[in-house]
Chain A
Amino acid sequence: MSTQILMPALSPTMEEGKLAKWLVKEGDAVKSGDILAEIETDKATMEFEAVDEGRIGKILVPEGTEGVKVNAPIAVLVGDGEDASAPVKAKSAPAEAAPVATKAAAAPVAQAASIKLEDPSLPEGTEFVTMTVREALRDAMAEEMRRDDTIFLMGEEVAQYHGAYKVSQGLLEEFGDKRVIDTPITEQGFAGLGVGAAFNGLKPIIEFMTWNFAMQAIDQIINSAAKTRYMSGGQMHSPIVFRGPNGPAARVGAQHSQDYSSWYAHVPGLKVISPYFAADAKALLKAAIRDPNPVVFLENEIVYGRSFPVPKIDDYVLPIGKARVVKPGKDVTLVAHSICVGLILEAAEALAKEGIDAELIDLRTLRPLDTDTVIESVKKPNRIVTVEQGWPICSIGSEIASQVVEKAFDWLDAPPTKVNGKDVPMPYAANLEKLALPTVDDVVAAVKAVCYRA
């Protein structure tokens, strides 16, 4: 009896990987727990262990092969026949299972090429380099840490492990363990410690492994960081950045899939930034580190791996509080931030095919919210749709709708409309998770409704 060994999925977002190295050869006997191969995923090099006993009959994919699809047969295991329990055969895996699980991760990198970075502050002829959002964030921290030695980075797994999502790659090596510090799992403790250190002359960057875990620390962020300048009559303040991935990733369930945009945007005394493009991630993280206020910096796990052009200039910093018109258009204003900017870009392409020309706004900062740019925009097409993954009640979209109604009521030809994540905790099942998140189709439907098109 022989079984196929299949290319494994080794992370929630992996679709294919490189078969870096075989650690067994044809004819070798293997038992459960033996390392068969090293596989490079989208995040790391992983060891792939045998589950069943047997002998390696044939190696189907030679080492060094890139782009091996998850579930492709990579070797044949020959059993010794004594084991009645056939492993789950390859055929019983529904072919669509893996793509369903990882669909959210499919990065529309190609689309990025067509985006122009219309930053008027950039000098004529500026060169661009393509980098991932992950690298842009790392570079922002490294550049600022080189400039100012009161800046330190603290959080779970930020130093030796280089961040759970590999954002702090190389920082320990460059800055040492005085400035890049692994903490115990004590969010409230190290967030509060960071605020105290900021009161006393330092500029902490506090990484939350994800913002879900910052709920353990939200009291220190709001009661201690956001309010102290006011409560002390301006004597004391905390120049601190709280950063980490926000919002749903892929299949990680209700407690790990939450968008905190509107939670923090609600709080006076904070600044809240949530970029999409790598250039903005870099320039705004640098601005956040220099800002004298506590800044909540909301990243996105799925966006970390997307690549975009970043201007090749020495010290690229952008002002906090400015939205950007990513694409002008005349029929409808679409507003988003973070990963949903990618979604409205996709939706705009779909809408263009139906003859609808959308203007796209990337908010970039959520507090202070750049309502001027939104209001200016909506005065042209006279209709607006907001798109975000957060829950609909008291969302960023709710705030924008309220501002638009207050400040541009006479210009509106249709009710401001929101597309949000569904009003439920995030389900785990692949089909329900897909249903819970906003899709291109949802955006297209909302746009058609405000344009009164069938």
Chain B
Amino acid sequence: MSEPTKVVVAGVNKPGATPNSVSLKTFYSDMLLIRRFEERAGQLYGMGLIGGFCHLYIGQEAVVVGMQANVAPQDQVITAYRDHGHMLACGMDPKGVMAELTGRSTGYSKGNGGSMHMFSSEKHFFGGHGIVGAQIPLGTGLAFADKYRNTGGVTLTYLGDGAANQGQVYESFNMAELWKLPVVYIIENNQYAMGTSVDRSSAQPQFFKRGASFNIPGEEVDGMDVEAVHAAGRKAIEYCRSGNGPMILEMKTYRYRGHSMSDPAKYRTREEVQTVREKRDPIEHLGQKLVSRGIATEDELKAIDKDIRLVVNTAAEFAIESPEPDLSELFTDVVA
């Protein structure tokens, strides 16, 4: 299969302070790349080519695309297991991500990690963590090192609404404010932790207030609106980069698919999901804006979709055709 004509790698064209028409189109294609990639990943899972747990990011695309558009080359990113979108938005190659999902030697972790455990030191992406809550102290530590080494870097630490109840989150908040660490905590509130809705798990469901007792400022953001995310992210990152300490952003978002591929999702109605899809979909929403503002035509949007499908197909074929790791690799990289 031939390479697509346009380069469609997310996160490469960094918009300026106020996104112009070019960067809005980039947001659109970055979000669509994640959507199409995830749909294909779901399909490969259905075919038995991806195994284990596979958590899709469909519905939440605006969060990571809007945030990552603000990062500088020295910044760091870390998240949990729902990480495919974050990797694409960091500019990681869809081929390498898909190949890791299928457990091939050409994957980002050479087949050792899988969906939940992927990394790229080149793109400053520190994973991909399967233990709920563990990435929050780690992200705080990345920020500690940046302050220590005076790099000017800021760390974007992503976590879920469920993860926000782990004790280590608050241990991290305290240290981050105490030592004024440059870390933005992005709470992706998709309203569910597996089958538990926020109101069944959280005494304080307004997560942006969770830093209040540590004097960490927080802001609630419409996580389905990429422009709103981008604007809030820009302010937060500037705040942290200027040495003010950490900041919390609560992104109100929604996951369309089950928690993982094996979740029957009986804890919410089909109508609830359908309503969000129809009324708040971040990609549809931006597409309509692009057309109504005269930035793109329907045909251009279709052409973008076509290009992206080609990229995703190329990634899938690469992932399927790549060899499994050599058996001699079993003991490689255990210790240095």
User: Is B8 interfacial (CB 8 A cutoff)?
Assistant: no
Question: Across the interface, which residues of B come within 8 angstroms of A11, CB to CB?
Answer: 261-262
A439 to chain B, nearest CB (A): 13
Question: Across the interface, which residues of A come within 8 angstroms of B294, CB to CB?
Answer: none
Q: Report whether A35 and B132 are in contact in the complex, using a CB–CB cutoff of 8 Å.
A: no
What residue in chain B is nearest A70 (Cβ atoms)? B48
Interface-located stretch among A42-50, A345-353, A357-365: A42-50
Q: Report whether B196 and A156 are in contact in the complex, using a CB–CB cutoff of 8 Å.
A: yes
Question: Across the interface, which residues of A come within 8 angstroms of B165, CB to CB?
Answer: 184-186
Interface-located stretch among A114-122, A193-201, A283-291, A425-433: A425-433
Question: Across the interface, which residues of A come within 8 angstroms of B316, CB to CB?
Answer: 88
User: Is A110 interfacial (CB 8 A cutoff)?
Assistant: no
Q: Report whether A250 and B52 are in contact in the complex, using a CB–CB cutoff of 8 Å.
A: yes
Question: Across the interface, which residues of A come within 8 angstroms of B214, CB to CB?
Answer: none
Question: Across the interface, which residues of B come within 8 angstroms of A213, CB to CB?
Answer: 131-132
**Residues A97 and B49 in contact in the complex (CB < 8 Å), given A11-B261, A92-B317, A253-B117:** yes
Q: Report whether B334 and A45 are in contact in the complex, using a CB–CB cutoff of 8 Å.
A: no
Q: Report whether A216 and B52 are in contact in the complex, using a CB–CB cutoff of 8 Å.
A: no
User: Is A87 interfacial (CB 8 A cutoff)?
Assistant: yes
Partner of A9, one of B48, B132, B166: B48
Partner of B39, one of A14, A51, A92: A51
Interface SS of B by simple majority: loop
What separation, in Å, do the CA atoms of A439 and B327 have in the docked complex?
A: 16
Q: Report whether A253 and B52 are in contact in the complex, using a CB–CB cutoff of 8 Å.
A: yes
User: Is A228 interfacial (CB 8 A cutoff)?
Assistant: no
**Residues A253 and B330 in contact in the complex (CB < 8 Å), given A46-B262, A88-B320, A182-B200:** no
Q: Report whether A435 and B48 are in contact in the complex, using a CB–CB cutoff of 8 Å.
A: no
Partner of A33, one of B109, B114, B163, B277: B277
Interface residues of A in 36-64 (CB under 8 A from B): 41, 43-49, 51
Q: Is the interface on chain B under 10, 10 to 19, 20 to 34, or 35 or more residues? A: 35 or more
Partner of B320, one of A43, A93, A161, A182: A93
Q: Report whether B117 and A156 are in contact in the complex, using a CB–CB cutoff of 8 Å.
A: no
Interface residues of B in 306-327 (CB under 8 A from A): 306, 309-310, 312-313, 316-317, 320, 324-325, 327
Question: Across the interface, which residues of A come within 8 angstroms of B112, CB to CB?
Answer: 254, 425, 427-429, 432
What separation, in Å, do the CA atoms of A87 and B44 have in the docked complex?
A: 10
User: Is A8 interfacial (CB 8 A cutoff)?
Assistant: yes
Question: Across the interface, which residues of B come within 8 angstroms of A35, CB to CB?
Answer: 270
Q: Report whether A185 and B200 are in contact in the complex, using a CB–CB cutoff of 8 Å.
A: no
Question: Across the interface, which residues of B come within 8 angstroms of A216, CB to CB?
Answer: 131, 133, 166
Q: Report whether B261 and A184 are in contact in the complex, using a CB–CB cutoff of 8 Å.
A: no
Interface-located stretch among A78-86, A315-323, A374-382, A402-410: A78-86
Q: Report whether B324 and A429 are in contact in the complex, using a CB–CB cutoff of 8 Å.
A: yes
Q: Report whether A6 and B46 are in contact in the complex, using a CB–CB cutoff of 8 Å.
A: yes
Q: Report whether A256 and B261 are in contact in the complex, using a CB–CB cutoff of 8 Å.
A: no
What residue in chain B is nearest A430 (Cβ atoms)? B103
A-B pairs with beta carbons under 8 A, tally: 219
Q: Report whether A182 and B196 are in contact in the complex, using a CB–CB cutoff of 8 Å.
A: yes
Question: Across the interface, which residues of A come within 8 angstroms of B239, CB to CB?
Answer: none
What separation, in Å, do the CA atoms of A428 and B329 have in the docked complex?
A: 12
Question: Across the interface, which residues of B come within 8 angstroms of A32, CB to CB?
Answer: 39
B164 to chain A, nearest CB (A): 9
Q: Report whether A432 and B325 are in contact in the complex, using a CB–CB cutoff of 8 Å.
A: yes
Q: Report whether A429 and B104 are in contact in the complex, using a CB–CB cutoff of 8 Å.
A: yes
A405 to chain B, nearest CB (A): 28
**Residues A255 and B117 in contact in the complex (CB < 8 Å), given A51-B40, A71-B47:** yes
Q: Report whether B166 and A186 are in contact in the complex, using a CB–CB cutoff of 8 Å.
A: yes
Question: Across the interface, which residues of A come within 8 angstroms of B52, CB to CB?
Answer: 12, 101, 249-253, 256, 428
Query: B155-176, CB under 8 A of A: which get 1 and which 0?
Result: 0000000110111000000000
What residue in chain B is nearest A23 (Cβ atoms)? B270
What separation, in Å, do the CA atoms of A51 and B41 have in the docked complex?
A: 10
B144 to chain A, nearest CB (A): 22
Partner of B264, one of A45, A160, A424, A427: A45
Q: Is the interface on chain A under 10, 10 to 19, 20 to 34, or 35 or more residues? A: 35 or more
Partner of B195, one of A160, A431, A435: A160
Q: Report whether A430 and B324 are in contact in the complex, using a CB–CB cutoff of 8 Å.
A: yes
What separation, in Å, do the CA atoms of A98 and B131 have in the docked complex?
A: 26
Interface residues of B in 25-49 (CB under 8 A from A): 39-40, 42-49
What residue in chain B is nearest A428 (Cβ atoms)? B114
Q: Report whether B262 and A156 are in contact in the complex, using a CB–CB cutoff of 8 Å.
A: no
B244 to chain A, nearest CB (A): 29
User: Is A102 interfacial (CB 8 A cutoff)?
Assistant: yes
**Residues A93 and B129 in contact in the complex (CB < 8 Å), given A161-B195, A431-B327:** no
What separation, in Å, do the CA atoms of A435 and B201 have in the docked complex?
A: 40
Q: Report whether A101 and B111 are in contact in the complex, using a CB–CB cutoff of 8 Å.
A: no
Question: Across the interface, which residues of A come within 8 angstroms of B40, CB to CB?
Answer: 51, 88
Question: Across the interface, which residues of B come within 8 angstroms of A182, CB to CB?
Answer: 196, 200-201
Q: Report whether B317 and A88 are in contact in the complex, using a CB–CB cutoff of 8 Å.
A: yes
User: Is B267 interfacial (CB 8 A cutoff)?
Assistant: yes
User: Is A157 interfacial (CB 8 A cutoff)?
Assistant: yes
What separation, in Å, do the CA atoms of A157 and B264 have in the docked complex?
A: 13
Q: Report whether A185 and B201 are in contact in the complex, using a CB–CB cutoff of 8 Å.
A: yes
What separation, in Å, do the CA atoms of A164 and B262 have in the docked complex?
A: 10
Partner of A184, one of B202, B258, B329: B202
Question: Across the interface, which residues of B come within 8 angstroms of A255, CB to CB?
Answer: 116-117, 129-131
Question: Across the interface, which residues of B come within 8 angstroms of A185, CB to CB?
Answer: 132-133, 162-163, 165-166, 193, 201
User: Is A188 interfacial (CB 8 A cutoff)?
Assistant: yes
B56 to chain A, nearest CB (A): 10
B224 to chain A, nearest CB (A): 16
What residue in chain A is nearest B334 (Cβ atoms)? A424
Query: A177-196, CB under 8 A of B: which get 1 and which 0?
Result: 00000111110110000000
Question: Across the interface, which residues of A come within 8 angstroms of B49, CB to CB?
Answer: 93-94, 97
A46 to chain B, nearest CB (A): 5
Q: Report whether A256 and B320 are in contact in the complex, using a CB–CB cutoff of 8 Å.
A: no
Question: Across the interface, which residues of A come within 8 angstroms of B105, CB to CB?
Answer: 429
Question: Across the interface, which residues of A come within 8 angstroms of B310, CB to CB?
Answer: 84-85
Question: Across the interface, which residues of A come within 8 angstroms of B195, CB to CB?
Answer: 157, 160-161
What residue in chain B is nearest A40 (Cβ atoms)? B264
Query: A243-273, CB under 8 A of B: which get 1 and which 0?
Result: 0000001111111100000000000000000
Which are the 9 A-B pairs with shortest beta-carbon distances?
A: A98-B48, A8-B46, A428-B114, A251-B51, A251-B52, A429-B111, A85-B309, A11-B262, A429-B103
16 more CB-based (< 8 A) A-B contacts, given A51-B43, A428-B112: A47-B264, A49-B257, A70-B47, A88-B313, A92-B317, A93-B320, A101-B51, A157-B195, A182-B200, A212-B131, A255-B129, A422-B331, A428-B51, A429-B111, A429-B114, A430-B103
- 24 A-B contact pairs sorted by A residue (CB < 8 Å): A8-B45, A9-B46, A9-B261, A44-B262, A44-B264, A51-B39, A51-B40, A85-B312, A92-B317, A161-B196, A161-B266, A185-B132, A185-B201, A188-B167, A212-B131, A216-B133, A253-B52, A255-B131, A256-B52, A428-B113, A429-B103, A429-B104, A429-B325, A430-B51
